Amino acid sequence: MPSKFWWVFAAYVIVWLGIFGYLGSLLGRARTLEREVQRLKDETARR
């Protein structure tokens, strides 16, 4: 294993977790909000 491998590994893992964690949270929020918009529209239409 190259010298100082774990420093590089740590840096890359943090970047990947940061970016893909953020993307995952955005997709989750988008899904929840889409459902919420639909529910509110249905509720408004029923009134």
Partner 1 sequence: MTSVDRFLLALSAAGMVALLYLIFMVVPNEKTMGFVQRIFYFHVPLAWVSFLAFAITCWEGIRYLATRDHDHDRVAAASAEVGLLCVSLVLITGPIWARPVWGIWWTWDLRLTTTLVLWLIFLGYAILRRSIPEADRRAVLSSVVGICGFAAVPLVYLANRVKATQHPAPVVGGGQGSGLAGIMLFTLMFGFAVFTLLFVMLLRARTAVARLEDAVEEITMQPSGPEVGHA
Binding flags for partner 1, 28-47, as an x/- string (CB under 8 A): -xx--xx-xx-xxx-xx--x
Cα–Cα distance measured from residue 3 to residue 40, given in angstroms and rounded to the nearest whole number = 57
Cα–Cα distance measured from residue 19 to residue 12, given in angstroms and rounded to the nearest whole number = 11
| In the complex, minimum distance from the CB of residue 47 to partner 1, in angstroms, rounded to a whole number | 6
Using CB under 8 A as the binding criterion, the count of chain residues that bind partner 1 stands at 29
What distances in angstroms separate CA 12 from CA 24, 25, 26, 38, 39, one per listed residue?
18, 20, 21, 39, 40
Q: Site residues (CB under 8 A) for partner 1?
A: 2-5, 7-8, 10-12, 14-15, 18-19, 22-23, 26-27, 29-30, 33-34, 36-37, 39-41, 43-44, 47
